[in-house]
Structure 1
Amino acid sequence: MRKVFTTLVLLASAIHLNAQDRITGKTFATRSEVIAQYGMAATSQPLATQVALDILKQGGNAIDAAIAANALLGLVEPTGNGIGGDLFAIIWDAKTKKLHGLNASGRSPQSLKLSYFKEEGMTSIPSHGPLPVSVPGCVDGWFEMHQKFGSMDMKNILQPAIDYARNGFPVTELISYYMRRSAPFLSRFPGFKETYMPNGEAPKKGEVFKNPNLANTLEKIAKGGRDTFYKGDIARTIAKYMKEQGGFLSYKDLADHTSEWVEPVGTNYRGYDVWELPPNGQGIAALQILNILEKHDIKAMGFGSREYIHLFTEAKKLAYEDRAKFYADMAFNKIPVDKLISKNYANERAKLINPNRAARSYPAGNLRDGDTIYMTVADKDGNMVSLIQSNFRGMGSGMTPTGLGFILQDRGELFSLEEGHFNVYEPGKRPFHTIIPAFVTKDGKPWMSFGVMGGAMQPQGHAQIVVNMIDFGMNLQEAGDAPRIQHLGSSQPTGEAMNDGGTLYLEEGFDYEVVRELMKMGHRIGWTNGAYGGYQAIMWDDENKVYYGASESRKDGQAAGY
């Protein structure tokens, strides 16, 4: 019996590897997709995935489940997100058969002026401390989503996170590593040790960690609603703490905060409509990359080929020059989004690419106008949520308001201090944002809700997932597990300019002969582990009426359904 079982296992493995050979010409580690009929959740932490499924099974919809999972992720993965950060979402509403975009990012303090940084002799905004703190938009984002689409009572939605915060949860190896790496330099800020180092050090793998202050905060929000956070005692505590630390974020900044419902913007890539949110995020960079790639026979080039990697890298460089120049808060600038994502513009930009040589620099378009978590949930009625939420720089600014159990974000670091720049610092302005959710429709129907975490990797990751599935025929799981390309060193919205071509990082799994050829073409190659983002996705199979779920192995993520 053992011999028969072993033979079957080996046969199944061979079939799976051969399928990969046909798809990519290479093999790489992967696993099966998750398939379910009634609901699916894919998050970066298994406990959050289970909470989302519990909410769905209790009769909640995808929006309820997404909020519940996000609330828990702020507890179990404080190295990437929390209620001190911002939120963006793309929601497919099954009733209206329409996509809705939510920008729940916060604005800079009204009392902090550009002149302050000049007077202090600063050429950039610090990464930590009180100065990069902007209004946290996450909680308002939850209530906007809930008011528009939710079905369960908010108390029930937040209860799982409250319970875990009060009773504790075992910290995973990855999160322990990031917490222990952050602790040495964030522990100098008041409130951090009390919240995240209760025994004098950050928790170790397997240690049961509790955050009773966060439990109390979430309980107040569940009972009193969003105004408890932005206009009540929580807001007053945040304002008092920030003033004590020499910061500028005030009670009025919090009280005045609003989220914004926006229309997603998209491009058609070989018959599939790929959707992102407009700036102040960087989502349209993925659309710009795809528009350039669509002009070429990517499938014929082959996954991992010199031709494909070179073309992808140069397309990314071109898109990121526009990202550096134009992407900013649209309330302060007339940003030419339609032109940037148009096919005609892509055709013009693509002419700058030398097929045999890596460029050291590119001009931005001459247009007159001017650590993160990702999760996705789908329910039995067809609603789907693509949601991303972050503190920025892992655990954020280090500003840990007294007794509240969370850290405030440091998104303000991403403003430029260059006068006249689209993304220059101004009071009451949203900074450039890296976090972006994505969605794909086919013939007006939902096809895929997905995201890739990781700063500047995100648009690159979005484009690669789309290409992996549409051009290379990978399944939902393989598309995320395939080795990734990441180019770093492009010009930045904070003012830095690329003049050396940047560095092309290739994840383990690419053929070394291809790497040698890329080096001969002028690409500077770098190697690193663990910096290629994290991926979650849900796909709807309209023929069989089932969901597919995927979550990669680079993080703690889990996809599960019922």
Structure 2
Amino acid sequence: MKQMLLAGALGLAAGCAQPAGDTQTQDDKEAAAMTDHALRGDNRGDRINGAPWATRSPVLGVQGMAATSVPLASQVAVDILKAGGSAADAAIAANAALGLMEPTGNGIGGDLFAIVWDPRTGRLHGLNASGRAPRGQTLAALKATLMERTGQDDDIPDWGSLSITVPGAVDGWFTLHGRFGRLPMAKVLAPAIAYARDGFPVNQLIGYYLGRSKGLFERLHGEGVIEEIDNYRATYLVDGNPPAEGQIFRNPDLASTLQAIADGGRGAFYDGPLTDVMDAYFQRIGGPLRKSDFAAQRANWIDPVSVSYRGYNVWELPPNGQGIAALQMLNILEGYDLAAMGHNSADYLHLMTEAKKLAFEDRARFYADPDFYDVPLARLLSKDYAAERRALIDMTRAATEVDHGDPQLLEGDTIYLTVADKDGMMVSLIQSNYRGMGSGLVPDGLGFMFQDRGAQFALEDGHPNVYAPGKRPFHTIIPAFITRDGQPLVSFGLMGGAMQPQGHAQIVSAIVDFGLNVQEAGDAARFHHTGSTSPTWVGRMTDGGTLELESGMRADVVADLERRGHRINITKGPFGGYQAIYRDPETGVYWGASEMRKDGMAIGY
């Protein structure tokens, strides 16, 4: 893998060595180069070496590395590392900064998952810091409220108080810090507090999403979906408008909230003065969460699960998240020679899409909170089961409808960041408010928005993911990791709802099958298949869905896919956002990457 990651994809580099005895002059060579490469006319420059679509080479470092979706947050992480903090400290600091700087994707009103490589024990540890449904609201009561408010009782709205579960992020910070932290939490949170108080310039992409959210929330409030909107306006608008690219944005309420957490610890948020504010807010707007729900919140350490893909172990977290869908896809794909097909060829994209359809049908039927349902992990991740599912794929025709696996199984918008430190600890962390910036609801004077993750519950009795008091909903956010021969290699993730498992499979294949380095793997054109059956069990796939492709795909490939029956949409999204750190097992050098679809940056030292 080292050679693949260092060299990049063979045959895809922009330059090649001249054979011995070449007598061409420099002018001859430049003229030949001009005729060898057609003019694109897209105003994009050319790289001297590396894959032509890559935006840059990987960032290198030895003492530490941080890769996040906002450059200032990456710098915060590196500053914490330089101050003697661990990778866990730096990840928490960066996450706190991102909650301020990228509120469209995350914040302390959301949930958190992480995978940590601990160099002391030589193993991976998983953290599930997702929150639970209100304990005082039954399924029958929820359905009655839905019928009264919306006139239907088979789907939870994506916004408003009924979609809110207890935020798990702060609990996750303190759980992670308690095991792997070095610096005091007050020092870890200090950079985010300072930026919230003093202000920071808004990035281009975040400014775009903030502008889009305003119209959405105003409309939803007008329709009665969001119970109140004054707190959103007071927190996220400046003189009635969302902050634009380059504008200085301050969030003094969030600064005060983070300071209270730094001073009072976890209890300030879950059983203290901040909790009292949140409890009073939900009572005021008629929401079901109460102080006792916050007091009962507990993150838990879990064992990551893995499959072997061509000799590399790919790790994800088990349900209630969707990470094992990526592992199911990889198990199916392992039976084919993807390298011979060619990266982003018609055969490759067809196969990837069909494997995704099969994995996502199982995702819709079997992924749920393990405290309430015995998820058949061993069977779902077995090579035998993958072979059975693989046999359903027709390489000449796109499937319009697929079913979940054998009946025996029935018995039985987000940020990603990664940080590595000088001691070899690597943290793969993902955190989210879920769809559309979150629920639209901001508790009085606290400076953050609650997540809307509860919208992912099913409402059908007997479904593994059906709503229940105190239950964790199905989750889309998933961190990932690759190891080989017991050594850490790549800490990575790719945010973006249902894009995440199919994105993880594409990244792993790009690195393992095609030898792309961590930056090239993230910058390469992607696919996203939409239309599979939902984990809420609303809307079964009957038409094959839609295969969304980026414009970097070839026209002949698109035509071939259409002949096989795929409905194609060339679009700019949603293809997620990726960060990664590769650790050279021989030299210990870190190779960091942050892709071009976000405004992020990898920083090493």
Give the TM-score normalised by structure 1. 0.96
Work out the CA distance in 2 between the residues paired with 1:442 and 1:295.
Answer: 20
Residue from 160, 165, 171 that aligns with 1:129: 160
Matched, 1:318 2:349: no
Larger Rg: 2
Confirm or deny: 8 A CA contact 1:325 1:364 kept in the other structure. Answer: yes
Structure 1 window deviating more from structure 2 (237-246 vs 74-83): it is: 237-246
Give the structure 1 partner of residue 213 of structure 2: 182
Distance 1:95 1:19 in 2: 36
Q: Which residue of 1 aligns with 2:99?
A: 74
Q: What is the TM-score with the length of structure 2 in the denominator?
A: 0.89
- 2:235 matches 1:165: no
Distance verdict in 2 for CA 1:534–1:15, change over 3 Å: closer
* CA contact 1:360–1:500 (8 Å) conserved in 2: yes
Q: Is the 8 A contact 1:372 1:394 kept in 2?
A: no
Give the alignment partner of residue 547 of structure 1, picking from 586, 590, 598: 590
Match of 1:149 in 2: 180
Q: Percentage identity across aligned positions?
A: 59
The structural deviation recorded for 1:246 is 1.1
The correspondence for 2:255, drawn from 203, 208, 215, is 215
State the 1:238 CA deviation: 0.7
Larger mean CA deviation between 189-198 and 135-144 belongs to: 189-198
Counterpart Cα distance in 2 of 1:500 and 1:510? 23
Instruction: Write the deviation string for residues 79-100 of structure 1: whole angstroms up to 9, x where unpaired.
Output: 0000000000000001111100
Q: Distance in 1 between matches of 2:469 and 2:230?
A: 26
Partner of 2:466: 424
Which residue does the alignment assign to 1:23? none
* Partner SS for 1:191: helix
Q: Does 1:231 align with 2:274?
A: no
- The reply to whether residue 199 of structure 1 matches residue 239 of structure 2 is yes
1:411 — aligned with what? 453
- Aligned-pair CA distance for 1:29: 3.9
1:191-245 per-position Cα deviation (integer Å, ceiling 9, x unaligned) = 1011011311111111100000000000000011000000001111111111111
Letter in 1 for 2:591: Y
**Cα gap change, 1:552/1:219 in structure 2, threshold over 3 Å: closer, same or farther?**
same
Cα offsets for 1:66-112 (capped at 9, x unmatched): 00000000000000000000000000001111100000000000112
Please point out which of 305, 314, 333 is paired with 1:265. Answer: 305
Paired position in structure 2 for 1:499: 542
Q: Which amino acid aligns with 1:92?
A: W
Q: Residue 247 of structure 1 corresponds to which residue in structure 2?
A: 287
The superposition leaves residues 476-498 of structure 1 with CA deviations (integer Å, 9 ceiling, x where unpaired) of 10000000011000011111210
1:396 to 435, 438, 448: 438
**SS at 1:131's partner residue?**
helix
The residue type paired with residue 129 of structure 1 is: G
Q: What residue in structure 1 maps to residue 604 of structure 2? A: 561
Offset from partner CA, 1:240-261 (integer Å, 9 cap, x none)? 1111111101000001110010
Q: Secondary structure at the match of 1:400?
A: coil
Partners of 1:454 and 1:364 in 2: how far apart? 23
Secondary structure of the residue aligned to 2:395 is: coil
Q: Does 1:478 align with 2:520?
A: yes
The equivalent of 1:532 in structure 2 is 575
CA separation in 2, counterparts of 1:259 and 1:190?
32
The letter for the 1-side match of 2:92 is: I
> What is the DSSP-based 3-state SS (H/G/I as helix, E as strand, rest coil) of the residue aligned with 1:420?
coil
Alpha-carbon deviation of 1:293? 0.4
Structure 1 unmatched runs, 5+: 21-26
Query: 2:425 matched to 1:383?
Result: yes
Q: Which amino acid aligns with 1:100?
A: H
SS in 2 for 1:394: helix
> Does residue 459 of the first structure (1) align with residue 501 of the second (2)?
yes
Query: How many angstroms apart in 2 are the aligned matches of 1:38 and 1:410?
Result: 38
Q: In the TM superposition, what is the alpha-carbon distance from 1:471 to its structure 2 partner?
A: 0.3
| Partner Cα separation in structure 1 for residue 583 and residue 232 of structure 2 | 42
User: Which digits, 9 at most, give the CA deviation of each residue in 1:363-414, with x for residues without a partner?
Assistant: 1012243410000000000000000000001310011000000000000000
Q: Does 1:338 align with 2:378?
A: yes
Q: Is residue 42 of structure 1 aligned with residue 44 of structure 2?
A: no
Query: Which segments of 5 or more consecutive residues in structure 2 lack a partner in the other structure?
Result: 1-25, 35-43, 222-228
Please say if residues 81 and 394 of structure 1, whose CA atoms lie closer than 8 Å, have aligned partners that are also in contact: no
Shift of 1:279: 0.2
Q: Which amino acid aligns with 1:66?
A: A
Name the aligned partner's letter for residue 554 of structure 1. R
The Cα shift of 1:527 comes to: 1.6
**Does the residue aligned with 2:436 lie in a helix, a strand or coil?**
coil
Equivalent AA in structure 2 for residue 510 of structure 1:
M
Query: 1: distance between equivalents of 2:142 and 2:564?
Result: 42
1:14 CA displacement:
11
Whether the 8 Å CA contact 1:238–1:401 is kept in 2: the answer is: yes
Structure 2 CA distance for aligned equivalents of residues 240 and 530 of structure 1: 39
Q: Kindly report the root-mean-square deviation, in angstroms, between the aligned alpha carbons of the 2 structures.
A: 1.8
Write the distance in 1 (CA, Å) between the matches of 2:553 and 2:137. 48
Deviation sequence 1:105-153 (CA, Å, 0-9, x none): 0000011221124321322001111100000000000000000110000
Aligned partners of 1:465 and 1:245: how far apart in 2?
A: 43
Partner of 2:93, secondary structure, is: helix
